[in-house]
Amino acid sequence: MSNQNTNTYRILSDMVDSLTDSDIRKIAGLINKKINQGEKIFNLTIGDYNPKVFPIPQEFTKEVYNAYLEGHTNYPPIVGEAELRKTLSKFILERENLEYSPDEFLVGGGGRPLIFTYFISCVNPDETVVFPVPSWNNNYYAHIVKAKMVIIETRPEENFMPMAELIKPFIKDASIIAMCSPLNPTGTVLQKENLTNLCNLILEENTRRKKINVKPVYLMYDQIYWLLTYKNYKHYNPVEINPEMRKYTLFVDGMSKYFAGTGIRVGWGFGDDEVITKMKALFSHMGAFPPKPEQIAASRYLANKEWVDSYINNFKEEVSKRLFKFYDGFMNLKSKGYKVNAIEPQAAIYLTVQFDLIGMKKPDGKIIESTEDITAYLLDEAKVGLVPFSAFGSLNNPTWYRLSVGTCTLDEVSEILYNLESCLSKLT
Ligand SMILES: Cc1ncc(COP(=O)(O)O)c(C=O)c1O
């Protein structure tokens, strides 16, 4: 009550009062305003899908319906339906060669409750969280647990993936290292050698800590896009690389991204029994679990290899056609002398693109001076909404952007490239 009469008077906890909404949502808000005013905008900002372009698997929908008709409407177990956890255990064994028992899973309402649980479970206030940028939302989770943040800036030369050497100086103080591969926002993957080096760093540090009786550093490994890799790019996981990492790896996964199911809210996490068991009580009090009919449907759907393979094959094909069409388009613009660039698509639903436009003059005579100016120019002139990497915490890469293909048709790709060329050609 001591600050009641000052300007800093707060009605909620300091943490919540100072927690801000995601910058991506703010940009999406601006775009929606334009759309509501009747403008035709190509909104490539959101890590979401247009269900008319990318519907969820039909068989899953039918199973949800069946589960309701069968009357599965009472509480599911707090950690997730037993059948679903059994199915998930088989799913990752068959597809990732990972051995985790059903008891080593937590089923949540999407991936977010798992991330939340891991941060709260591993990090005391004032302890250190290490994460690379650009990356998705780690800053907000670090804020929630009142952690110190060590932010690792990455570079286009390494496809915006953090090299283990950059993390090394900070590992001694870290409680959690938050990694994501395939990475949102870049659509790139961690290379095997780099992940191996990171695992070695963590194992070495935890050997040191064990001797002095200090709690270990954990690797949160968010692989929520992992079934979407293209060409020869492969998804690696830390435990496959080094089985000793089992004790220290906390996986995030779910149906949101590779089944276009962002709205169905079925996610899961898994990790070593010792740590997952301790997280169960926290998880139970959060109660952030998916509806029981969805859990039953997810179990029936994921257990059917044919359904899953056929959906994923088609989905990957459709997403990658768009990503490569955009990529080829950007390379074509680059070859014509426009100041753009892109990184070849590796995974997920994102393309990393650059508009190196700072210092150029717009048709109105004004100079483009900042990321905000680039974003606004693309939106106003090309009617294209993109998210700058600054919205993912990166300050060193002011001209790089995430382009998401989850809402666009193949025909629209041509239209968008045409608009971009026309708006770039007006700059001098
Ligand atoms: C990297 C990453 N992890 C986790 C999530 C959260 O997924 P969910 O919608 O299942 O909560 C997202 C969502 O955008 C994401 O991009």
256 touches ligand 1 (CB under 6 Å): yes
375 touches ligand 1 (CB under 6 Å): no
- In the reported structure, the alpha carbon of residue 107 is separated from the centroid of ligand 1 by a whole-number distance in angstroms of 14
Helix, strand, or coil here: 176?
A: strand
CA 338 to chain centre: 30
47 touches ligand 1 (CB under 6 Å): yes
* CA pair distance 191, 157, nearest whole angstrom: 13
Given the CA of residue 266, which atom of ligand 1 is nearest to it?
10
- In the reported structure, the alpha carbon of residue 184 is separated from the centroid of ligand 1 by a whole-number distance in angstroms of 9
Atom 4, ligand 1: residue with shortest CA distance: 111
- Residue 27 confidence (pLDDT): 82
Q: Which of 261, 297, 288 is nearest to 72 (CA)?
A: 297
Atom 16, ligand 1: residue with shortest CA distance: 184
404 - beta bridge partners?
350
Predicted confidence pLDDT, tens digits, the chain (428 residues):
344 445 667 889 999 999 987 777 778 888 888 889 999 999 999 899 999 999 999 999 999 999 999 999 999 999 999 999 999 999 999 999 999 999 999 999 999 999 999 999 999 999 999 999 999 999 999 999 999 999 999 999 999 999 999 999 999 999 999 999 999 999 999 999 999 999 999 999 999 999 999 999 999 999 999 999 999 999 999 999 999 999 999 999 999 999 999 999 999 999 999 999 999 999 999 999 999 999 999 999 999 999 999 999 999 999 999 999 999 999 999 999 999 999 999 999 999 999 999 999 999 999 999 999 999 999 999 999 999 999 999 999 999 999 999 999 999 999 999 999 999 999 99
Given the CA of residue 265, which atom of ligand 1 is nearest to it?
10
- In the reported structure, the alpha carbon of residue 112 is separated from the centroid of ligand 1 by a whole-number distance in angstroms of 6
294 touches ligand 1 (CB under 6 Å): no
Scan for tokens 């998916």, then name that residue.
290
Helix, strand, or coil here: 41?
A: coil
261 touches ligand 1 (CB under 6 Å): no
- In the reported structure, the alpha carbon of residue 111 is separated from the centroid of ligand 1 by a whole-number distance in angstroms of 6
**CATH architecture type of domain 58-308:** 3-Layer(aba) Sandwich (3.40)
- In the reported structure, the alpha carbon of residue 257 is separated from the centroid of ligand 1 by a whole-number distance in angstroms of 8
- In the reported structure, the alpha carbon of residue 210 is separated from the centroid of ligand 1 by a whole-number distance in angstroms of 32
Scan for tokens 């990321």, then name that residue.
371
290 touches ligand 1 (CB under 6 Å): no
Q: Could you tell me the fold of the domain covering 14-39+310-425?
A: Aspartate Aminotransferase, domain 1 (3.90.1150)
- Residue 422 confidence (pLDDT): 97
* CA pair distance 288, 277, nearest whole angstrom: 17
Identical fold at 14-39+310-425 and 58-308? Answer: no
Q: Which of 228, 318, 301 is nearest to 61 (CA)?
A: 301
- In the reported structure, the alpha carbon of residue 6 is separated from the centroid of ligand 1 by a whole-number distance in angstroms of 38
- In the reported structure, the alpha carbon of residue 252 is separated from the centroid of ligand 1 by a whole-number distance in angstroms of 9
Scan for tokens 């393309």, then name that residue.
351
- Residue 4 confidence (pLDDT): 47
Q: Which residue out of 188, 224, 265, 404 has the highest number of ligand 1 atoms within 8 Å of its CB and is therefore the one to mutate?
A: 224
- Residue 311 confidence (pLDDT): 98
132 touches ligand 1 (CB under 6 Å): no
- In the reported structure, the alpha carbon of residue 331 is separated from the centroid of ligand 1 by a whole-number distance in angstroms of 29
Atom 13, ligand 1: residue with shortest CA distance: 47
The answer to whether residues 350 and 224 touch, using CB atoms and an 8 Å cutoff, is: no
- In the reported structure, the alpha carbon of residue 224 is separated from the centroid of ligand 1 by a whole-number distance in angstroms of 7
CA 117 to chain centre: 16
The answer to whether residues 203 and 247 touch, using CB atoms and an 8 Å cutoff, is: no
Global pTM value: 0.95
Peptide bond between residue 398 and the one before it cis (omega within 30 degrees of 0): no
Q: Where are the domains of the chain?
A: 14-39+310-425, 58-308
224 touches ligand 1 (CB under 6 Å): yes
**Sheet strand arrangement including 340-342:** 340-342, 350-355, 400-404, 387-388
- In the reported structure, the alpha carbon of residue 269 is separated from the centroid of ligand 1 by a whole-number distance in angstroms of 12
Rounded to 5°, angle at Cα 294 from 109 and 115: 15
Q: Cα dihedral sign for 228, 234, 240, 242?
A: negative
- Residue 142 confidence (pLDDT): 97
* CA pair distance 356, 34, nearest whole angstrom: 25
218 touches ligand 1 (CB under 6 Å): no
What's the residue count for the chain? 428
- Residue 130 confidence (pLDDT): 98
134 touches ligand 1 (CB under 6 Å): no
The answer to whether residues 172 and 330 touch, using CB atoms and an 8 Å cutoff, is: no
Query: 38: alpha, beta or left, given left = phi > 0 and alpha = psi -120 to 50?
Result: left
Given the CA of residue 225, which atom of ligand 1 is nearest to it?
1
